[in-house]
Amino acid sequence: MRSLPILAVLVLFLTPTLGAQHQQKCRVAERPNKLPPVSSLLDSAEAAAAFASRPLPATGVLFSVVSIMDSVQVVRLMEPAVVDSFPQALAVFRRTVEPQRAEEAWAVRVRVRPGGAMAVERAQYCPPEMISTAQDILRFDVHAEDRPPTNGGHPVRVTVQATLSEIGDVMRTDILRSSGIEDLDREIAQSFARQKFLPALLDSIPVISWIRTDGKTLKL
């Protein structure tokens, strides 16, 4: 009777040690691929008329429009925090915004300059991040027929994708690249799901996203 060699499989993911004041890494958002014209986002004529007669800061007033799903939009005043000369600026701008159809989240900014001129700008995107402070090591003894024994163990590559909620909780995990060993895949997925994550942010608005064990994240 042929004996089955035992291969030791070591799986290790290292996570950064983060301080209490950790700042999430952010970048310019890529979606939508092409910036839309102002007229497709809002009633530009009404907005221009409302702002044209108001004294605005030299750099203008900056609004954020985040589309999360069909007809669900978050409109915020970003700069300045308060428009002293026009306290109703946000209410007026929000009233002129047109509903947008969005199969996936995206965001843009609209800058209104003195005189009512408007321009669309890119928003800011902060991808999700793992914030666990400890390393997670899983060790298994795998019975492998027709494989020669090795001194250093049998290397295994597994890619797990975790779908994250707006608060960074793991909603589900999917095996994108399997080790070929069901129990091992399941243990790695469960271990990844136990990690703690920061949610993705679009102009500071939390959105559903995903992150993988290889470090790749949803692009927005």
Final residue belonging to a domain, choices 85, 109, 125: 125
Q: Do 108 and 160 fall within a single domain?
A: no
Q: How far apart are the first and last CA of the chain?
A: 57
Same domain, 55 and 117: yes
Count of the separate structural domains present in the chain = 2
Q: Are residues 43 and 101 in the same domain?
A: yes
pTM of the model: 0.80
* pLDDT digits 0-9 by tens, 47-83: 999 898 888 899 999 999 999 876 678 999 999 887 7
Structural domain for 210, as ranges: 154-219
Question: Please, are residues 13 and 157 in contact by the beta-carbon 8 Å criterion?
Answer: no
How would residue 100 be classed by pLDDT, with cut points 50, 70 and 90? confident
Give a yes or no: residue 178 inside a domain: yes
